Structure 1
Amino acid sequence: MFLQRIANNGIRLGTLLDRAAAGFPANFVVSDHDLDIAPGLGRRATITELAGLVDDFASRLWAVRVRPGDRVVIHKSDGFDITLLALAVARIGATAVLLSPKLDGDTVAELVRRVNRPYLITDQDKLEHRLPAEITDLTERVLLATGDHPAATRLADLAGSPRTLPVEMSPDHPVLITHTSGTTGIPKLAVHTNRTFQARYRPQAGVVALVGRREPIAMHMSFVHSRLFTAMPISLLQGHPLIVLRDDEPAAVAELFTRTRPGIIETHPNTLLRWEVLADDPRGPLAHVKYFSSTFDAIHPRTVATMLGASRRRNPRYAQIYGQSEVGPIAARTYTAARPFDGRCVGMPFPGMTGVRVVSRDGKPVSKTNPGFIEVRSDGRILTYLGERQRWEHQVNDGWWRMGDLGYRTRWGCLHLMDREVDSIPGIDSTLEIEDKLLTRLPELVELIIVPDPDGVPVPVVCTRDDRPLEPARWRAALKGLPVLGDPVQWRREDLPQTATTKIKRLELARLLIAGAPVREPAATAAPAHESVRAHGEETAA
């Protein structure tokens, strides 16, 4: 019944919290931070309170003449109020354009230019210190979520604006514009509609329905990512308390999870990697989790095994979901502790909802050693790339969308992902598979990325727990049975270039290595005198 109701009505972002509050008025959202636009609300708010907040800010936007069909760029300091402001924009029939707080000012200006004179919601810090001066000339009007600036209107000054009724737009009208990860250059602007969002959360709603309604669902993901706007409705419309995290610092997360006891956790793979230390916390912050899930990037088998081992629930599961911002979820598979996790196997398509094919690159049969282009069909596919229709059309082939990934399908139809097209290295079947094996063999590693040097040699960039020097003897032993790699280069994890969803920007990382990025020495004791490893691009020895 729930799936049918969703399929008929669509996502309707503008009235999402109203409908959730009508069914579960006392349900609540717990956050790890105060809202910039409503700091007095606190870190635990009912759905009814949040619905009122969205209604209030929709009316403030209406008061400055934001109208149906207008575009409103939201680029402010990180926080859950980015999501709430997007709902407010949708409530009056306008289209929110969400730009990550992590984007640099020049990139933001280029994307704003592509949107063509939108309204801009930002804050004083961004306007004064992060954005170029030309931003005010590129926008219709600048609105401040916090702070003050002579070239902008403060949303706080619009408190008390007359409430306005929600505006119902066509299911095919753009409801939200998000940007791609930007791992290969300037991000693209992906245009979503109520209908494309509707198609995305239908295949996932069933998983949440398997968990008791009172079980909290914890989400730590980028507040500008399209995934949040499908995951959140599923949770709230089924009456689940929601735990929203801005930060992934393990100590703070452990304290919050110990208090709230989530039954489902969804976050970025690299965040789960960072949370491996929670498995050893005597308070058991992960003990109550029934389902772990991530949809943003490849995840390593070691991390999945650690998460499942930390749960004390009967038969906990990890949901491996393969998808992309442009098309939504495409394939899925669940794993238990009893079933060894294959990091390359991303599962089966959703019957009747998504389709997958793998096209040969060279006319020869597609296999593990000769992976092909992964192409998919989905009703959740975006409408276009805003201002770049030609780039969108370049990825569409007779209705099939090229994912930019390489893989193959087994005789049973299971899809295996080997590499991104742009990250593949000649002579290596899968850099991701090698990374999985090395991370499993070396527990001291907290990240490992393989990128090519100027001669095409695969170079491992490694990060260790607490930045301890990598032990050369252990590294050499871990290489047994693997293709020949270049000498490892040790970096601090926080220095790796990342996207809003914590993906490592591999192309940028490779460019930094070639350019000879500044050396930042690991903080712990050096390696033995007779051995050495490279630290952040240089040779170091005891």
Structure 2
Amino acid sequence: MTEPAKPPAGTLSFEPLTPVSYLDRAAAAHGERTAVVDGDRRWSYTEFHDRCRRLAGALAPLARGRPVAVLAPNTHVLLEASFGVPWAGVPLVAVNTRLSAREIASILRHSEASVLVHDPVLDDVADAAVAGLPEPPHRIRAGEPYERLLAGATPTAIRPRDERSLLSINYTSGTTGRPKGVMYHHRGAYLQALAMVGHTGLSPSAVHLWTLPMFHCNGWCFPWAVTAAAATHVCLPKVEPAEVWRLLRTEGVTHLEGAPTVLSMLAHAPEASPLARTVKVATGGAPPTPAILRRMGRLGFDVTHLYGLTETFGPAMICDWRPEWDGLDEQVRARLKARQGVGNMISCAARVIGPDGRDVPADGTTVGEISLRGNNLMLGYFKDEEATRQAAPDGWFRTGDLGVVHPDGYVELRDRSKDVIISGGENIASVEVEQVIADHPAVSEVAVVAVPDERWGEVPAAYVSLLDGAEATEAEIIEFVRARLARFKAPRHVVFGQLPKTSTGKIQKFVLRDRARAGAERRIR
């Protein structure tokens, strides 16, 4: 039987999927309701829709078919660009605001950005980034220049004819090496946003606080997901625990996302106290420790653990909670919540592949590499076919993360392949040691990495950040681990201080490893 021909766009039974169409629907169905809160400014969905279309009208002749870059914190500007840039018919490049001028210049050059929209707080770094470019992009400064541009523009909405055409280019955070440009397509973002609506329970009554950087994986597709639900976006340019707790109470926030470090900041803030209602939190970027999950639960946060990468539009897997787990002991529930889980509702089932290329048994012990594919996988790396081939040698994207599959089918991360510590021939999972140390009452955050050792080749070292006012000694931390794990898994060194992180809150273990290799066994400054 021959397959029917694919219908052209705009026919009765086919319309190319694009996440920006969610704003059309929200404006039509919920036009008078609040769409965006940014400080003392508020816009309805009708106004938000009009502003995004005007941004598209202003950008289309300036972009000339090339990407538009945006360098801004979590303000209405980046949120509007999530719709206005695609409606201008060009890809969006949301730039990490914590990068250096040199790194930003590299992204502008590599992405061939035609326009740079930037926030005034980033004037200096924008000036330095474009200074050395042979063909600097046209610059638009947020604030009065941006508002004048919108006021004089003709509303425009260029629709994609091919739903797998390029929507955005997202540059990896650089925790594992040189950033690469990950290409997102309209279809994937549309479906991923739909999955986020379903899994987090977004609805028109939801109020979403932007604690997750919008530049990171396009905010895990939540700019489109929150809009699809016609919920309210509350912008937050900087994550300050006191301000987050204020907004939780004054704006009636119901949803937020962030790395485990954000959860830790909120849980241990002086302003922290149990909420009158449940706030749904999605976390990812690193496995949250059972200790922080327990603490967040007591404060009224319902935490869902997600897993994904830039290459997977953000969360590709979710620890899908089963109601039969509700009656379990608190500690057991926290350990179940810390698992990476199963593919989200629009993903293919995740695989954990052994060295022989076959799926490992679902025994909760055999380790393999987590591998993914499906509609929420990238088109590839921009202008880097070789890296694309290496990342998916057989049609399955190799994440570089090691995990096991439990008998119930849920995947649990054991480590990144580079983070496994091999000491005297024994494999030590740094995540396992980190979770034990995180249970110590004085510990706020911890990272465990391998450091060189003449006798054992390498041994674990723990880098520990303590809670304000708390005290602990190296010997105390080591003995705490030895009482709970095999002695060879305990760290040989404990270094106290602040941990180096990416702008999305991921602890930069490679920085710690580099320090160790250079003989920098000293306090983290």
Instruction: Give the TM-score of the pair, scaled to structure 2.
Output: 0.84
> Deviation at 1:375?
1.0
Tell me, yes or no, if the aligned pair for 1:30 and 1:244 is still in contact at 8 Å. Answer: yes
> Deviation at 1:243?
2.7
d(CA) in 1 for partners of 2:473, 2:207: 41
Question: Counterpart of 1:383?
Answer: 379
Aligned residue pair count: 490
Question: Counterpart of 1:341?
Answer: 334
Paired residues for 1:31-430 under 5 Å: 31=37, 34=39, 42-62=40-60, 65-67=62-64, 69-76=65-72, 79-116=75-112, 118-123=114-119, 126=122, 128-129=124-125, 132=128, 135=131, 137-139=133-135, 141-146=137-142, 155=146, 158=149, 160-169=151-160, 170-209=162-201, 213-228=204-219, 230-277=221-268, 281-282=272-273, 284=274, 286-311=275-300, 317-328=302-313, 329-335=315-321, 338-339=327-328, 340-342=333-335, 345-350=339-344, 353-361=347-355, 371-426=367-422, 427-430=426-429
d(CA) in 2 for partners of 1:317, 1:355: 25
Question: Counterpart of 2:524?
Answer: 536
| Residues 206-250 of structure 1: CA deviation (Å, up to 9, x unaligned) | 2344x6642323331112122526223332222322333332222
Report the AA paired with residue 201 of structure 1: A
d(CA) in 2 for partners of 1:204, 1:301: 23
1:434 has 2:418 as partner: no
CA change 1:224–1:11 in 2 (3 A) is farther
Tell me, yes or no, if the aligned pair for 2:105 and 2:133 is still in contact at 8 Å. Answer: no
Unaligned runs of 5+ in 2: 1-12
| Residues 508-529 of structure 1: CA deviation (Å, up to 9, x unaligned) | 2222344466x9xxxxxxxxxx
CA change 1:147–1:181 in 2 (3 A) is same
Report the AA paired with residue 402 of structure 2: L
d(CA) in 1 for partners of 2:90, 2:62: 11
Report the AA paired with residue 404 of structure 1: G
CA change 1:160–1:80 in 2 (3 A) is closer
CA change 1:128–1:288 in 2 (3 A) is same
d(CA) in 2 for partners of 1:398, 1:506: 29
Tell me, yes or no, if the aligned pair for 2:436 and 2:484 is still in contact at 8 Å. Answer: no
d(CA) in 2 for partners of 1:399, 1:130: 39
CA change 1:54–1:481 in 2 (3 A) is same
Deviates further, 175-184 or 7-16: 7-16
| Residues 85-112 of structure 1: CA deviation (Å, up to 9, x unaligned) | 2322111111111110111112122222
| Residues 413-455 of structure 1: CA deviation (Å, up to 9, x unaligned) | 2211101112221134421121112111x12211100112233
> Deviation at 1:351?
6.4
Q: Helix, strand or coil for the counterpart of 1:293? A: strand
> Deviation at 1:350?
4.2
**Identity among equivalent pairs (%):** 22
Q: Helix, strand or coil for the counterpart of 1:497? A: coil
Unaligned runs of 5+ in 1: 1-6, 35-41, 149-153, 520-533, 538-542
Report the AA paired with residue 434 of structure 1: V
| Residues 144-167 of structure 1: CA deviation (Å, up to 9, x unaligned) | 32489xxxxx54553542414211
Tell me, yes or no, if the aligned pair for 2:117 and 2:140 is still in contact at 8 Å. Answer: yes
CA change 1:464–1:30 in 2 (3 A) is farther
| Residues 360-381 of structure 1: CA deviation (Å, up to 9, x unaligned) | 2378966766521111121111
d(CA) in 2 for partners of 1:509, 1:130: 29
d(CA) in 2 for partners of 1:467, 1:109: 41
| Residues 263-322 of structure 1: CA deviation (Å, up to 9, x unaligned) | 33322221011111369745x4x43125321233321111111122212xxxx7432222
CA change 1:44–1:222 in 2 (3 A) is same
CA change 1:260–1:8 in 2 (3 A) is farther
